[in-house]
Structure 1
Amino acid sequence: MSEQVDWSSELSSILEDFGCQTGTIHRTAADGETLVLVAQIGVPDGLIERISTIPFGKGIAGAAAERGEPVELCNLQQDLGGIAKPDARQTGVSGSIAVPVFSSGSQRVIGTLGIGKYTPYEFTDAEKASLADIAVRLAHVI
C-alpha cells in the first residue's frame, strides 16, 4: 500500500453518510481465499476475533467476496438468509450489506466493505451504486 490510510476515519465517514452504526473493511489475504480485518466500528468485542479472518464464502463479507457481488440482508435478527452465522445476531444489526472491492481494472476481489443498521432496512439501488463507487475508491488504497 503506497499511502497511509486512517481506516477508522474512512469507515466512520462511510457509516455517517449511510446512517449506519456498524461497519467493517476487510482486505484479501495473500492466499486469495481469506479476508483479513482492516477496520471495524460497532462490532462487539466478543466477535472481533471471529471476524478478524473470514474465508471466502463464509458469512456476509465472505459471500460478497466469493460471489463478486453485493450481499444484503434486510433483517439479520430474523433471517440469516442462509449466509450469516447465528453469532452475527450478537452485533444487534438488522439491515446489512457487504460489497466486494475489486482490483483496479479487473474482477479480482481485493477486499470487502460491510455496513449495517440496527433497524431492518433494505438498501436502495442508489445506495448500492454509491457503495460500489466507494469500493472503487477504496481499491486504490486497499
Structure 2
Amino acid sequence: MPSEIPPQPTEADWNRFLSEVATEFGCTTGTIHRLDPADGLLKLVAAQAIPPQLIPVISTIPVGKGIAGAAAERQEPVELCNLQTDTSGVAKPGAAQTQVMGSLAVPMMQGTTLRGTLGIGKLVPYEFTSEEKDKLMSIASQAAEKL
C-alpha cells in the first residue's frame, strides 16, 4: 500500500503517492486530477512519465472527456486494454503519444462526492483484474479526502 498522505499534501506528496501507486500495480505512467468545484473541470495535480508536450493537454479535462473524464462522469473504473488500438472513442486524441497500452482510471470518491480521478498505465497491452480495479478504487477513496 502507498504510504500515508499528509493532512495538507504538497505537489511533491502527490507525486510520491502516485509513484508508489503506479509501482504497486506494475505501471509506468499515472495521473491524479482534482475536480474543481468552481468550474467543474478536472485539474492535474500529479503526473508520472507523461511526455512534456502532453502536460498542457491533460492539465484541464472536462468531465466525460478522455479516460479520466469518463471515470469521473461514470463514477466507476474505466479501462482500456490497449489504448494504442482503442476504437471506443473514450481515449482523447493524442493519448496514444503516451505510448501507454493498458490503462485504468478510477474516480476518487469521498463518500458519494467526486473529488477527482486516479489513473495508471502500462506500456504493454493489459487487462486489469476485478481485484486490481477494486484495490485501486479503495486506494483512490482513501486518498480522496486529502484531495
Task: Give the TM-score category using the shorter length.
Answer: over 0.9
Q: Find the partner of 2:27 among 20, 44, 61.
A: 20
Any conservation in 2 of the 1:73–1:80 contact (CA below 8 Å)? no
1:87-98 matches, within 5 Å, as 87-98=94-105
Q: CA RMSD in A?
A: 1.4
- Percent identical pairs in the alignment equals 56
Matched, 1:67 2:74: yes
Give the CA deviation at 1:139.
1.1
Task: For residue 71 of structure 1, report the CA deviation from its aligned partner.
Answer: 0.6
Q: Is the 8 A contact 1:23 1:40 kept in 2?
A: yes
Structure 1 unaligned spans of 5+: none
Match of 1:99 in 2: 106
- Post-superposition offset of 1:72: 0.4
Question: 2:91 aligns to what SS in structure 1?
Answer: coil
Amino acid at match of 1:121: Y
**How far 1:33 moved relative to its partner?**
2.1
Instruction: State the distance in 1 between where 2:133 and 2:77 align.
Output: 8
TM-score (norm 2): 0.91
CA distance in 2 between counterparts of 1:109 and 1:27 reads 9
The residue that corresponds to 1:130 in the other structure is 135
SS of the residue 1:37 aligns to: strand
The amino acid that maps onto 1:25 is I
Runs of 4+ with deviation above 4 angstroms? none
Structure 2 unmatched ranges of 5 or more: 1-5
TM-score, normalised by the number of residues in structure 1:
0.94
